Structure 1
């Protein structure tokens, strides 16, 4: 059903965010004031009103939310497309327990909107492949997700 709006994650959507998931994230560019969009996979739901995102601490996204807290996360799940919006902040400047210098961002969910166009559903989800050392990538993913869940 298109255009459904909630003020929190549904149980189904919360469950989707309990493991690594491909999302696109939009912030307000600190210099231009326009949209800045990136893709990432280190995102989890802490609870029905909170998403955590792990990004390189030197990421433009970190600089952007220091100036403008607004953030939107788009995810394909449950045969539809959702945009999750709210205010973000840097929860931890350096995420503990991982070998990379990652910042932990927190999005306080204000709105969850089903943005799928009328009369359609998602029938295939994006797949991606880590193009560097597979074992190292898997080990890092496990470390990052564990650290995010413990934060």
Structure 2
């Protein structure tokens, strides 16, 4: 289908990205120049024109974005599948006030496309569970999401 929805996040997608949410991130690999797909859950949209996410500061994602800022974020929800295109930049490495070394990345949204195939809709969104200590996961999640919600760097 790949219909252009908007040049910014519609309210339904903005609402989804106000809390931790499972998304797929596509970058261009720094060495092979091939598409590279990653999963990300620490994601937050402060407004309709921007998405922030956190990844390990030594992640291949960081290298890829520093070499080529073009990214696509796939969000499954609100009854469909959306490709959110944009330009990314690493804005903080490491992130302040987070117990592990992460990088904060900001994406300026340039297009939102409905990429669901014709004649279908999503009736159940993906879910996941953390497989490590619940208390440690909750503490880390709170630190990371608080840091993502802050404008700028420390």
Answer yes or no: is 1:50 the counterpart of 2:65.
no
What is the SS of the residue equivalent to 2:142? helix
Shift of 1:135: 1.0
Shift of 1:5: 2.6
| Corresponding position of 2:33 | 33
Question: Structure 1 residue 2: deviation in Å?
Answer: 6.3
1:65-90 per-residue CA deviation (whole Å, 9 max, x = no partner) reads 11111000000111110000111101
Q: Distance in 2 between matches of 1:53 and 1:150?
A: 12
Give the secondary-structure state (helix, strand or coil) at the position aligned to 1:113: strand
Residue equivalent to 1:134: 134
Paired residues, what number? 151
8 Å Cα contact 2:8/2:110 also seen in 1: yes
Find the counterpart in structure 2 of residue 5 from structure 1: 5
Structure 1 spans left out of the alignment, 5+ residues: none
Runs of 4+ in 1 over 3 A off after TM superposition: none
Q: Check the 8 A contact 2:4/2:111 in 1, yes or no.
A: no
Q: Does structure 2 conserve the Cα–Cα contact (< 8 Å) formed by 1:88 and 1:106? A: yes
- Within the alignment, does 1:89 sit opposite 2:89 as a pair? yes
Q: CA RMSD in A?
A: 1.2
User: What is the alpha-carbon distance in structure 1 between the residues aligned to residue 39 and residue 111 of structure 2?
Assistant: 20
With structure 1 as the length reference, what TM-score do the two structures score? 0.96
State the partner residue of 1:110: 110
